[in-house]
Structure 1
Amino acid sequence: MARALAHVWRKPVAEHTREAFKSAEQWRLAQGGRGLILDACCGVGMSTRKLAERFPEHSVIGVDRSADRLSREHGPLPDNALLVRADLVDFWRLALEADWRPERHYLLYPNPYPKSMQLKMRWQGHPVFPAIVGLGGRLEVRSNWRIYIEEFAIAIAQATGTSAPLGPFDPDDDPLTHFERKYHDSGQPLWHLVVNLDHRPGLLPRSEL
């Protein structure tokens, strides 16, 4: 995880994500100054819709790289919600470059890449991690894999010096995602961390874009 913080990642931003971000930025500005909620890895968009319903005074942007997932049934979107097809690795960097400051930032049940050799594919070990935490705001990560949450908390502490409390999580009767519903209904324990982070654009050098 420390390697993700020690090396600047200079992979060029894909043009399709740059265009998607430009459209998302125009939509965000048209929302009239509402607080921003970012729903990363939103899948079919169920969580984006539910978050927009729970926080009607906010603008909610859900991002996923899969056109297939985003095309599936997710229910009608409220006017304060937008789904974007983009590569999050690039989208996060562009958001930090554009000085986005989400009030809430969700990472719900990301792929845990459970094999030890796959650490660099987990977000906490990926070179884009400084952009994730650099955006700031109330970051919430949920998973059915406890070690994923534990690693994420360690990475946050290494990057920012901030302690990220973690513990078991119960979605009650209103899960945000299909995965959350499936895991909960099958009796699997769920875990999450919630941490308030400062906006830290300096964690990712602006010159790399």
Structure 2
Amino acid sequence: MSGNSRPVTSNQAEPHPALADTVGRHLAHPWRAPLADHDREAFQRARDWLGDSDAPLILDSGCGTGRSSVLLGQRYPQARVLGLDQSAHRLARAPRRFPIPDNVLLLRTDCAGFWRLAEAAGWRPWRHYVLYPNPWPKSAHLKRRWHGHPVFPHLLGLGGTLVLRTNWELYAREMAGALALAGRQASVSALAGGQPPVTDFEEKYRHSGHRLWELVADLDH
């Protein structure tokens, strides 16, 4: 894969000054936007697939082509892995590139809607991966970042171990700040080199010379 990805540029050099007000408002006022039928259908498909299994559940939100979901399914064969992505085009590439293990299901859905349905149903994932999302680097786009989005309390409510990776350090630091405002601790560290890439974005960013960052947080404490 060629390394032609540009580093993130932003007009924001520090955590957003409206972060605390935005997170506080979302924590105080539940998000009541209507849920889309396609998200309900995807969630029902996931419920049917899981059945009455008591295996640990892994969510891979924004899984793209499913590369990370497949690797997680191989790494944790005792778990069930749900790969979520809103792009049918990206998901359609998965079977042609990777054999899909029996413990992995890829679903087309909007993550925000799926998270709300999962939390309402009492799902408690063991691990939740959010790998290389679009960071929305302009300061005006704070509310499009997961920690500034009204779905943030539902992400917290799912619990489990959150693992987020990004090529924009400020994004990870801001997420850690939002988690702290909600009473959760997170660690942010540079991702060590030499590890096999887990997503197409990670491979492309490495080849482009980007420094990569990982946030890990236990949302149950």
Structure-2 residue corresponding to 1:203: none
CA distance in 1, matches of 2:193, 2:112: 28
- The 5-angstrom pairing of residues 42-81 of structure 1 reads 42-73=63-94, 74-81=97-104
CA distance in 2, matches of 1:141, 1:42: 12
CA distance in 1, matches of 2:61, 2:169: 19
Structure-1 residue corresponding to 2:118: 95
Structure-1 residue corresponding to 2:128: 105
- The 5-angstrom pairing of residues 12-51 of structure 1 reads 12-29=34-51, 32-51=53-72
Alpha-carbon offset, residue 97 of structure 1:
0.5
Structure-2 residue corresponding to 1:167: 189
Alpha-carbon offset, residue 187 of structure 1:
1.9
- The 5-angstrom pairing of residues 118-133 of structure 1 reads 118-133=141-156
Map Cα deviations across residues 128-149 of structure 1 (whole Å, 9 max, x no partner): 0011111111110000000000
Which AA in structure 2 matches 1:59? R
Percentage of pairs with the same residue: 52
Which consecutive unaligned segments of at least 5 residues does structure 1 have?
A: 200-209
Higher RCO, Cα 8 Å, sep 6+: 2
SS at match of 2:184: coil
SS at match of 1:123: coil
SS at match of 1:72: helix
Alpha-carbon offset, residue 171 of structure 1:
5.3
Structure-1 residue corresponding to 2:200: 178
SS at match of 1:101: coil
SS at match of 1:153: helix
- The 5-angstrom pairing of residues 135-174 of structure 1 reads 135-159=158-182, 161-170=183-192, 172-174=194-196
CA RMSD in angstroms, aligned pairs only: 1.3
Map Cα deviations across residues 167-191 of structure 1 (whole Å, 9 max, x no partner): 1012534111011011112221100
How many aligned positions are there?
197
CA distance in 2, matches of 1:149, 1:14: 29
Larger Rg: 2
Deviates more, 1:5-14 or 1:126-135: 5-14
TM-score normalised to structure 2 length: 0.86
Alpha-carbon offset, residue 44 of structure 1:
0.8
CA distance in 2, matches of 1:136, 1:174: 27
SS at match of 1:125: coil
Runs of 4+ in 1 over 3 A off after TM superposition: none
Map Cα deviations across residues 111-169 of structure 1 (whole Å, 9 max, x no partner): 0001000110010100000111111111100000000000100111112x122111101
Map Cα deviations across residues 51-80 of structure 1 (whole Å, 9 max, x no partner): 000000000000001111111144110000
